[in-house]
Structure 1
């Protein structure tokens, strides 16, 4: 008697024949063949379970700047890098070694993924292992120095602007078709995956407000004109992602960039002061961003655009830092120069605080992991004060 067990998973198109012949030789052969077949069946179950779990959880596609870069800049010839100690000193997954994250531990994107049950961090697109099944739980395209506008961050020589990041996602989108098949890939991306975009701060800090290099631009273009350009460009970028099957979006607005240690230091401010112009530009952009996302929610069928109110979230931490267990919201934990250690970026020769979880800012520009944790949990579970029209947990379940 012959029993045929079809094994089509894992790309196996042949049939495994299990023979149950009488006699010693036949029995031994059957046992050997049965063992191999059982092993293949178990592999199939594991594989199906892997793809099944991925379908339940979905992928996290992360776009943005250094706030969420997970290591893409490691692979670029750029002046903006964080793959040097003591960056990553509290990142448990690497044993405290730098990974290219611009903080002492996890980014907001890392924490959100963990809380949503994703078993692996979204792999940086430029890393060698961003192929095959590794991409099923998500890909990170973010780049330190990147912005909405292509000219943003040119001071760093190389960086990935949002246009290039979307080009790279287009490559990933084609890989999903090969991994899952076109129909399943479309459902997986549309129904189960979240697209997070954290960008815009560099368009001000390292473009419009950049000392010396931006003087000509500011003379020829008003703040309103520059923000118009940002919004129009972002509209095209988000629409392009929609055309590539993105449906669930969370867009972070620009934080209070006038309050970061770098801005306070170079402008020689007091501890409780912030740079008015920088914050005014951020708020002006954020208002326009809100209008844009409302427009796109009504214009693009099936899409949900969520705005993360990063500005108010970070301002709350800065204003009421003691309430959250911090001892300072002005001084960088890792950095050098000036009253707030805000001039020289974090590196091996930097002064570093011992109580890293007591500082809102890790370095002159970026929040600490402790601050990222508070921000991420508000985005996941918080009210419409900080994320609207739904929070990330609700967005995942839509």
Structure 2
């Protein structure tokens, strides 16, 4: 399973789903790019070590009667929750699913993949995963399918005016690349954090520009969450309940500063495009720091997992210990938030606080 925690992912998913809604031609499309926080089942179709299609994942996902779907949580992702609030009739279909054909794709397509990152080398410990480059390649295929379904002119308007592109990626580039023991030692000797983050931003700029050239105009960019605070990191570093690992959080903050600058740059340089920045880091840190205020009893221990003080080493599966009060845990497994946490994150994002969403709200982006 993906040792990744892209809560930002969640943010993006949300936003992308909020694109549904308007106009005489019905709903727009939600195009979701990212990692395990927004993967809705693509990794089910890959020979990979990162999978969530085993119980008890999905135990609270009503749409599947509690069966696993490939979502890395016990229930709905943030995107699912916000989509429901906006009246979205269908979730974006995973690109690799056999169902991703015909009119089903008009609601949107999900390209996200557990273990995926901005860099192609990220997540190689899982053998297979869809990097951001591959996800953009797959959107290029979808783009041609839209021309066939709607005709070239109508397809272009549908994608430019009515559809939202959410990008939630970057956590794995640190957790399962730069910071990974053994595999990354060579990279860290040859690359400073500054140089590695430069590389990430350069690659992401190129990937977002490719999407723009394929008619993407409305974007949500989620930043990297406090990856030093996930149960996996706390457990392997033998921290106390209220401590977080300093280096991963420091790197995330450094990257996040550059990501915000990139959003500003692209808003200025790509005519007609709007990039909304989702500050997942501060939102999730608020939840972790003040968990009791939000009705949780722990922001350190995984509900489903095994190993160490916080059940943070072995990913969630049939042999994992499982908590009885899932709605009292911020984290479902060693890396990913619970549905209860996702509900709160979705609510805060939907409220449009400029501390978390800028320069406009999700609804304002949708209505442009």
TM range (shorter): over 0.9
Equivalent in the alignment of 2:9: none
User: Is 1:209–2:176 an aligned residue pair?
Assistant: no
TM-score in terms of structure 2 length:
0.93
Equivalent in the alignment of 2:110: 140
Equivalent in the alignment of 2:314: 344
Residue pair 2:22, 2:28 contacting (<8 A) in 1 also: no
Give the deviation of 1:52 after TM superposition. 8.7
Give the deviation of 1:212 after TM superposition. 1.3
Q: Which of 30, 43, 47 is 1:60 aligned to?
A: 30
SS in 1 for 2:70: coil
Residue pair 2:115, 2:172 contacting (<8 A) in 1 also: yes
**In terms of mean alpha carbon deviation, does 101-110 or 149-158 score higher?**
101-110
Structure number with larger C-alpha Rg:
1
Cα shift readout 1:314-352 (whole Å, capped 9, x = no counterpart): 000000001111110000000000000000000000001
CA distance in 1, matches of 2:36, 2:199: 22
Give the deviation of 1:53 after TM superposition. 7.1
Give the deviation of 1:54 after TM superposition. 8.3
Equivalent in the alignment of 1:319: 289
Residue pair 1:54, 1:137 contacting (<8 A) in 2 also: no
Coordinate RMSD, CA, aligned: 1.2
CA distance in 1, matches of 2:136, 2:347: 27
Equivalent in the alignment of 2:62: 92
Choose between structure 1 and 2 for higher RCO, CA contacts under 8 A separated by at least 6 residues: 2
Residue pair 1:263, 1:275 contacting (<8 A) in 2 also: yes
Using a 3 Å threshold, how does the CA distance of structure 1 residues 344 and 250 change in structure 2: closer, same or farther?
same
- List aligned pairs for 1:366-381, cutoff 5 A: 366-381=336-351
CA distance in 2, matches of 1:383, 1:277: 28
CA distance in 1, matches of 2:148, 2:85: 29
SS in 1 for 2:197: helix
CA distance in 1, matches of 2:314, 2:24: 42
Using a 3 Å threshold, how does the CA distance of structure 1 residues 301 and 52 change in structure 2: closer, same or farther?
closer
CA distance in 2, matches of 1:189, 1:111: 23
Using a 3 Å threshold, how does the CA distance of structure 1 residues 118 and 55 change in structure 2: closer, same or farther?
farther
Give the deviation of 1:116 after TM superposition. 2.6
Equivalent in the alignment of 1:109: 79
- List aligned pairs for 1:12-161, cutoff 5 A: 55-161=25-131
User: Is 1:264–2:234 an aligned residue pair?
Assistant: yes
Cα shift readout 1:357-380 (whole Å, capped 9, x = no counterpart): 111000000000111111122222
TM-score in terms of structure 1 length:
0.86
Which ranges in structure 2 are unaligned for 5 or more consecutive residues? Answer: 1-20
CA distance in 1, matches of 2:22, 2:254: 44
Q: Which of 249, 258, 278 is 1:288 aligned to?
A: 258
- List aligned pairs for 1:201-280, cutoff 5 A: 201-280=171-250
**In terms of mean alpha carbon deviation, does 254-263 or 57-66 score higher?**
57-66
CA distance in 2, matches of 1:115, 1:124: 21
Cα shift readout 1:204-244 (whole Å, capped 9, x = no counterpart): 00000001111111111000000000000000000000000
CA distance in 2, matches of 1:55, 1:194: 16
CA distance in 2, matches of 1:90, 1:127: 22
Give aligned pairs, total. Answer: 348
SS in 2 for 1:109: helix
CA distance in 2, matches of 1:394, 1:329: 32
SS in 2 for 1:271: coil
CA distance in 2, matches of 1:56, 1:184: 13
SS in 2 for 1:172: helix
Equivalent in the alignment of 2:4: none
Q: Which of 180, 188, 193 is 2:158 aligned to?
A: 188
Residue pair 2:59, 2:66 contacting (<8 A) in 1 also: yes
CA distance in 2, matches of 1:238, 1:52: 24
Residue pair 1:55, 1:192 contacting (<8 A) in 2 also: no
CA distance in 2, matches of 1:141, 1:377: 24
SS in 1 for 2:120: coil
